[in-house]
Amino acid sequence: MNELTPPSFNPPSGAQVRAVHDAFHGDLLEVSMGPHHPSTHGVFRMMVTLDGETIVKLKPVFGYLHRNHEKLGENTTYLSSMPYTDRLDYLNSMTNNWAYALAVEKLAGQSVPERAEYLRVILAELTRLLNHTCLAGFLLQDCGASGTPLMYAFREREKILDLFEALSGSRMMCNYQRFGGCRVDPSPEWLTAAQSLTDGYGRFLDEYESLITQNEILMARTQGVGVLSPALAVSAGVTGPMLRATGVNYDLRKVDAYGFYPRFPFRVPLGDHGDTYDRYMIRILEMRESITILQQAFRTLPSGPIIDPKAKLRGFRPKPGEAYGRIEGPKGEIGFYLISDGSPNPYRYRVRPPSLVNLTILEDLCLGQTLADAVIILGSIDIVLGEVDR
């Protein structure tokens, strides 16, 4: 760095940013990307300050989709919050349901029958497949591919949504989990269909990867872009595939060993660079692990009741206390914190949304990158605005 270079500052991610407000470089350009911008994944807004096309400042603005979710949860009974959790991360209603059910079960000290635990694992892993498939499609769309990868991804997503619809009656707003078990028992035909989908999913991944993973343009666009350091990721509370892409081995399925996950051996893929390409690849590799979990679960699925016979749905009043239930959602740690005062409604209802926490480091990832990179970095963080804004 010579004397002519204006003073620079190093954001935590290590990106070098030039101070540019001098006579030679002229003024900076402030651009408001969003809330109605085609690639902000909903109503999200980035106030971007640009030097040419290089980002020197980025201010995320959210809250456009705020629906008062947590206050609503405090004013309704425990069970009537369950369908609302579908609307948090509307791609992954099954895992939202599970995390909420887990929190309430901890609060009320309920147990879950074996078959229901298996079904929860199966549905959570199907959800993970669905979410990561969508992400792979969206990310490529943000990279500027004319819809082809997205359509390939959505073809597979449709199959999973059809399964969800056949099971729960709804494609996206599944409302499937209950405190102490699940709502309906899948038919043998459903299980066969789900099993054949799982067996065929590896072929889709092979096809998708052979088409795009080693594409030179994709590698050039994503490798070294939006590098997240493990230290920043840990201190910011980043979880999920985004954290594992930085090389931190933290998967709640292994750490908490909730549900029946200890029964299914699977591996946790880790990245070494923490850039956008790693975040993409970790998700692809996680899908392959999900397939093995699903295959084991289908093989060993026991019969039995799907809900604890002692579970009370009406007049449900857990004794006073507090509980935090969390699971490894497709986007990261999704948790629900509940305080009960013995009444039918929770006294305090708080969601720990992975999208929001992962989004907080957006500026650190984007500084020094170009406007085009910001779009794919945002895409690789994998946010759903329903969950960010709640």
Partner 1 sequence: MNAAPPAADAFLERLPLIARDMLTVWFPEPARWLLNSLLAIAAIIISFATLFSLLTLAERKILGRVQNRPGPNRTGLPFLPFTAGRIFGLGQPFADGIKMLTKEDIVPRAADQFLHFLAPVALLALSILTFAVIPFGRHLVPVELDAGVLYFFAAGAATELAIFMAGWASRNKFALLAAMRALAQLISYELPLLLSIVPVIMLAQSLSPTAIVTAQGTLPHWYVCTPWGFAAFVIFFIAALAESNRSPFDLPEAESELIAGHLTEYSGFKYAIFFMAEYFGMCALSGMGVTLFLGGWQAPFSFLEFIPSYVWFGAKLLTLLLLFIWIRATFPRLRMDQLTRLAWKFLVPLALINLLTAAFWHHSHNWSTPLQLVRWAIAIFLVVSPFLWLGRALTQTFRPRTYRYA
Q: Are 281 and 303 in contact (CB under 8 A)?
A: no
> Is residue 372 within the footprint of partner 1 (CB under 8 A)?
yes
Please report how close the Cβ of residue 375 comes to partner 1 at its closest, in angstroms: 5
Query: How many angstroms separate the CA atoms of 336 and 240, rounded?
Result: 16
Classified as helix, coil or strand, 2 is coil
CA 12 to chain centre: 24
Query: How many angstroms separate the CA atoms of 156 and 33, rounded?
Result: 31
**Which of 230, 207, 219, 104 has its CA nearest to residue 149?**
207
> Is residue 210 within the footprint of partner 1 (CB under 8 A)?
no
> Is residue 269 within the footprint of partner 1 (CB under 8 A)?
yes
Q: Which is nearer to partner 1, 19 or 211 (by Cβ)? A: 211
Reading the block at residue 306, the tokens are 């799907």
370: left (phi over 0), alpha (psi -120 to 50) or beta: beta
Length, in residues, of the chain: 390
> Is residue 270 within the footprint of partner 1 (CB under 8 A)?
yes
| Per rule CB under 8 A, count of chain residues that contact partner 1 | 53
Please report how close the Cβ of residue 150 comes to partner 1 at its closest, in angstroms: 8
Residue from 323, 375, 381, 383 that binds partner 1 (CB under 8 A)? 375
> Is residue 160 within the footprint of partner 1 (CB under 8 A)?
no
> Is residue 240 within the footprint of partner 1 (CB under 8 A)?
no
Q: Are 59 and 364 in contact (CB under 8 A)?
A: no
> Is residue 49 within the footprint of partner 1 (CB under 8 A)?
no
> Cα-flanking dihedrals φ and ψ of residue 19, to 5°?
-80, 120
Stretch in the footprint of partner 1 (CB under 8 A) among 62-70, 138-146, 164-172, 329-337: 138-146
Reading the block at residue 99, the tokens are 């995390």
**Which of 310, 292, 351 has its CA nearest to residue 95?**
351
297: left (phi over 0), alpha (psi -120 to 50) or beta: alpha
> Is residue 143 within the footprint of partner 1 (CB under 8 A)?
yes
Residue from 8, 71, 109, 151 that binds partner 1 (CB under 8 A)? 151
> Cα-flanking dihedrals φ and ψ of residue 50, to 5°?
-115, 140
> Is residue 217 within the footprint of partner 1 (CB under 8 A)?
yes
Please report how close the Cβ of residue 95 comes to partner 1 at its closest, in angstroms: 21
Q: Are 298 and 198 in contact (CB under 8 A)?
A: yes
Residue from 224, 237, 305, 344 that binds partner 1 (CB under 8 A)? 224
How many other CB atoms are there within 10 angstroms of residue 36's CB atom? 9
Q: Which is nearer to partner 1, 281 or 306 (by Cβ)? A: 281
Please report how close the Cβ of residue 59 comes to partner 1 at its closest, in angstroms: 16
Give the footprint of partner 1 on residues 85-104 (CB under 8 A).
none
* DSSP character string of 324-359: EEEEEETTEEEEEEEEE-SSSSEEEEEEE-HHHHHH
> Quick one: angle between helices 93-108 and 78-86, nearest 10?
160
Element (H, E) at 94: helix 93-108
Stretch in the footprint of partner 1 (CB under 8 A) among 102-110, 172-180, 275-283, 356-364: 275-283
Binding mask 186-205 toward partner 1 (x if CB under 8 A, else -) reads: --------------------
Residue from 216, 302, 303, 315 that binds partner 1 (CB under 8 A)? 216
> Is residue 380 within the footprint of partner 1 (CB under 8 A)?
no
Residue from 282, 334, 359, 385 that binds partner 1 (CB under 8 A)? 282
> Is residue 31 within the footprint of partner 1 (CB under 8 A)?
yes
Stretch in the footprint of partner 1 (CB under 8 A) among 47-55, 172-180, 195-203, 234-242: 47-55
Classified as helix, coil or strand, 61 is strand
Stretch in the footprint of partner 1 (CB under 8 A) among 84-92, 122-130, 162-170, 246-254: 246-254
Binding site for partner 1 (CB under 8 A): 29-31, 37-39, 50, 52-53, 140-148, 151-152, 155, 212-221, 223-224, 249, 251, 254, 267-273, 277-278, 281-282, 285, 370-373, 375
